[in-house]
Amino acid sequence: MVELTCSKEKPDVLVLPEMWTTNYTLPQLSEIADCAGEPTTSFLQNLAKKHKVNIIGGSFANIRESEIYNTAIAINRQGEVLYQYDKVHLVPMLDEHLYLKGGASSHTFELEGVKVGLIICYDLRFPELARQLAVEGAEILFIVAEWPEARKSHWKQLQIARAIENQTYVVSVNGVGQYNGVLYCGTSMFIDPLGEIIEVASENNEETITKELDLHKVSEIREKVPVFQSRVPSVYKI
Ligand SMILES: NC(=O)CCC(=O)C(=O)O
């Protein structure tokens, strides 16, 4: 297994936030969203190839077959698309369901031999989704977001909970600043599989944070506290 390392000068993986190409311009999306992933996919593919870096390309509004999805994308250093994910859980508080269609599937994918999962913002509130990715073997859960300041404590605590219960690293990227009267709370984070915040970005300002992840920690904690062996799925009714 290849270790994912990361330094500011030559990172292995870059991660962007949710809806970074348009922000939450929901009523305008039918005019300004990507069509079948373009031009954002090609833009990120070129960037990945040029800098030989894996990219978790945040998410963007994406028109496919007359529906608009909130689509996240992962691209490898060769510029190949590894995974695409449409946000499954749409946010009632933002009326997302009036403008977007929810995705219908989620699974892990491999980033240089490491199994990882990718979810979008509100998905964080659904432990079933992250659990499914962890049961499939995810060692890192990437979360791309535009999470508002109004519910900042949930942003922080839910991520810690997902890291602890699934014994995964959590790597999250959230927007900052204000759009249409909504203030976003930044606070992008690296959380280790014990639930400790090991790096955190500003609440207010754009910032790049980097961290090297020791993936042995995932197997170590899973051996010490063998949650996955102790699960009893036959009892769970959901
Ligand atoms: N962009 C989002 O999904 C926002 C989620 C949110 O506001 C919440 O879960 O609270």
Distance 140 CA to ligand 1 centre (A): 21
Query: What pLDDT is stored for residue 9 in this prediction?
Result: 74
Task: Report how far apart, in Å, the C-alpha atoms of 169 and of each of 65, 86, 203, 205, 233 are.
Answer: 35, 22, 21, 24, 23
Say how far apart CA 202 and CA 196 lie, in whole Å.
17
Catalytic residues: 18, 87, 121
Ligand 1 site, CB within 6 A: 18, 91, 93, 121-122, 125, 146-148, 151, 154
What pLDDT is recorded for position 133?
98
Question: How confident is the prediction along the chain (238 residues), in pLDDT tens digits per residue?
Answer: 344 444 567 899 999 999 999 999 999 999 999 999 999 999 999 999 999 999 999 999 999 999 999 999 999 999 999 999 999 999 999 999 999 999 999 999 999 999 999 999 999 999 999 999 999 999 999 999 999 999 999 999 999 999 999 999 999 999 999 998 999 999 999 999 999 999 999 999 999 999 999 999 999 999 999 999 999 999 999 8
21-35 burial string, b = 16+ CB within 10 Å, else e?
bebbbbeebeeebbe
pTM: 0.96
- Domain of 124? 13-230
**How far apart are the CA of 30 and the centre of ligand 1, in A?**
21
Two tokens, residue 134: 């962890």
Q: Please report, for the domain that includes residue 155, its CATH number.
A: 3.60.110.10
| pLDDT for the residue numbered 8 | 62
Provide the domain count of the chain. 1
The answer to whether residue 36 is domain-embedded is yes
Residue 5 pLDDT: 46
